[in-house]
Structure 1
């Protein structure tokens, strides 16, 4: 009887030791660095189960066995908290820590940049060409309804989603600025503000000038003067694509809805998508008496309150143009 009892006790001890040894080996394996020798990007699809995620990780070469990940997720109690996304899996990460990485859900970010002054058609081309966006673009945003900005997104976002974000971003920005706009502006709607902001955007690339450019147009509108903006004419001719040459006299005289040398007030739509600075400039223009501006030869503009002063500035600009053409011709002659 005594020998039987000893046998039973010994068997129990061996079982405990075996379980302990097995547990130690399992714990060691789940905390062993993954097999990959360099950081690896893995895309985990939306709606994937724990088993599917584990299989994708194993296929990508960042996990030795699916069971390691599944067991770690269950022990942590986070099987339902794993998030889809695109992840950069660092070298040396263990299955135990890999679970935490995917629960945290910090997917890789991709970016799309929309420059100020692009037309909506040009923005759509950029969106359609971006390789990390998916799906066909079915939205047809209006001209001037997108806010130029750099947008971050995760792989798997659709083109419709990113364009919708751009539209909402512009609406939110204008709404935030609207109640703080200057008094007695010569327009009463947000749509009109965007139209004027698009003209300011296309007239200058110098940020410090935008509020003064805006003041010229605001002053002209208040006086019932035509805006006489070249970019509006170009938009009427090319829908915002580069003209590739100077405007002709016949084009200045042509009757179109966008020829602000012929029409009074604003054109019917924006001519581009204005950025935040241009919108802000229109809603809070500089306080000036300026009614005219012309290029100054340095990339900026010179402003004038009277036509006589403006004509002198134009004459100076014409001299600069002639001198540049002469210098260019001389350089070409010397290089032949």
Structure 2
């Protein structure tokens, strides 16, 4: 009898163990295998939320088949306490494991609403976009110039939500005054700062917290530019006509303002380096314009002959060598071009009608290029006049 009971008990234990093994295997497949989500969604995890709350929402939206397995998987992989707040893209068919990795590892939203203050050379705009989970493409919701326009209703409504990401993006060639004025007009950051030294801010895209200090962002921009300049200076070409990184930064700002086609940066830099080495004046309009505007916006008209002859520290038609400071905030590529210019015989360049330049070694060649450019200008003016009639 006892043998029979023992045998039956052992059988039950074996059956239970097999059942547990089968259950664990099934649960593992549920956790790591493709999920039931038929169409990508944007999952918002609010600050202070828990894995239980997240799992309930995922079940409700059809992203996971079993909330308990989802929670157990997070606990087993030690991810429960690593939950991040934000908005996360959950792709079609994402497994529980993939979802947990997304909401506990990156710490950065991958979908939802984004507001970007784009500071350009001619204007600044606040642009609101939302990611469409189905196409995984951003859709523009609202755009306006905060210095000139009232915020549209869509923007006001969109920024009322708790989960909005903010960025500030600087275009290459903006001035420090433009950066500070645009930040003030945007209302994104608090506090006030003096206009930082020209050229000291690195054009790039910076993630910010709304309401944080403006001085903190300016410092980040300055540290980034110092790092870029130091790296480029350390790997500079030999024999350049600069005595310091600061002089190279001045040249980089001129290259930035004179370059229409990115691929021409090295050639444009070579022209100015060649001129300095031969004792020629730089004779570049952007420096003259900066002497007039001090970087406070665009000139909005052509230069007058009196301005080209006027003696200012920035008029490179009058002064020898470099102007005293940069004339804008150059990007990394212009800094690298100034410190590693192409080797060319060119001393002149003029617009060629395509957005780029025609380069020349001699004054006669340059005059021919200028004549061609004048013809292009005349043809365009005639076409515009004809189109307006």
TM over 0.5: yes
Structure 1 residue aligned with 2:235? 180
Paired with 2:372 and 2:220, the residues of 1 have a C-alpha distance of 45
Show CA shifts across 1:23-56 (max 9, x none).
Answer: xxxxxxxxxxxxxxx999898888x6xx899999
Show CA shifts across 1:55-75 (max 9, x none).
Answer: 9999xx99xxxxxxx999999
8 Å contact from structure 2 (residues 256, 331) kept in 1: yes
Paired with 2:275 and 2:348, the residues of 1 have a C-alpha distance of 9
Q: Is the partner of 1:264 in helix, strand or coil?
A: coil
Structure 2 residue aligned with 1:282? 338
Structure 2 residue aligned with 1:310? 366
Please report how far the alpha carbon of residue 159 of structure 1 lies from its aligned counterpart in structure 2 after TM superposition. 5.3
Given the alignment of the two structures, is residue 319 of structure 1 paired with residue 319 of structure 2, yes or no? Answer: no
Q: Is the partner of 2:358 in helix, strand or coil?
A: strand
Please report how far the alpha carbon of residue 271 of structure 1 lies from its aligned counterpart in structure 2 after TM superposition. 1.0
Structure 2 residue aligned with 1:108? 109
Paired with 2:92 and 2:341, the residues of 1 have a C-alpha distance of 54
Higher relative contact order (CA 8 A, sep 6+): 1
Paired with 1:287 and 1:183, the residues of 2 have a C-alpha distance of 12
RMSD (Å) for aligned C-alpha atoms? 4.8
8 Å contact from structure 1 (residues 234, 240) kept in 2: no
Show CA shifts across 1:235-256 (max 9, x none).
Answer: 1112252222211001111121
Q: 1:55 to 1:129 in 2, by over 3 A?
A: farther
TM (norm. structure 2) is 0.61
Q: Is the partner of 1:293 in helix, strand or coil?
A: strand
Paired with 1:320 and 1:314, the residues of 2 have a C-alpha distance of 10
Q: Please, which of 207, 210, 218 is the counterpart of residue 153 of structure 1?
A: 207
Paired with 1:108 and 1:262, the residues of 2 have a C-alpha distance of 53
Q: 1:204 to 1:77 in 2, by over 3 A?
A: closer
TM (norm. structure 1) is 0.68
Higher share of residues assigned strand:
2
Paired with 1:158 and 1:108, the residues of 2 have a C-alpha distance of 19
Paired with 1:163 and 1:45, the residues of 2 have a C-alpha distance of 29
Structure 1 residue aligned with 2:320? 264
Given the alignment of the two structures, is residue 216 of structure 1 paired with residue 217 of structure 2, yes or no? Answer: no
Given the alignment of the two structures, is residue 143 of structure 1 paired with residue 198 of structure 2, yes or no? Answer: yes
Give the total of aligned pairs.
314
Higher share of residues assigned helix:
1
Given the alignment of the two structures, is residue 273 of structure 1 paired with residue 332 of structure 2, yes or no? Answer: no
Greater CA drift, 282-291 or 316-325: 316-325
Please report how far the alpha carbon of residue 97 of structure 1 lies from its aligned counterpart in structure 2 after TM superposition. 10
Show CA shifts across 1:106-162 (max 9, x none).
Answer: 33165643221111222334545667xx5315454321112222x253656835444
Paired with 1:226 and 1:218, the residues of 2 have a C-alpha distance of 11
Given the alignment of the two structures, is residue 231 of structure 1 paired with residue 286 of structure 2, yes or no? Answer: yes
Q: Is the partner of 1:250 in helix, strand or coil?
A: helix
Q: Is the partner of 1:256 in helix, strand or coil?
A: coil
8 Å contact from structure 2 (residues 183, 189) kept in 1: no
8 Å contact from structure 1 (residues 85, 105) kept in 2: no
Paired with 1:99 and 1:309, the residues of 2 have a C-alpha distance of 65
Q: Is the partner of 2:326 in helix, strand or coil?
A: coil
Paired with 2:191 and 2:55, the residues of 1 have a C-alpha distance of 31
8 Å contact from structure 1 (residues 219, 289) kept in 2: yes
Kindly name which structure, 1 or 2, has the bigger radius of gyration based on alpha carbons: 1
Structure 1 residue aligned with 2:174? 118
Q: How do 1:249-260 and structure 2 match up within 5 A?
A: 249-260=305-316
Q: 1:97 to 1:156 in 2, by over 3 A?
A: farther
Q: Is the partner of 1:312 in helix, strand or coil?
A: helix
Q: Is the partner of 1:201 in helix, strand or coil?
A: helix
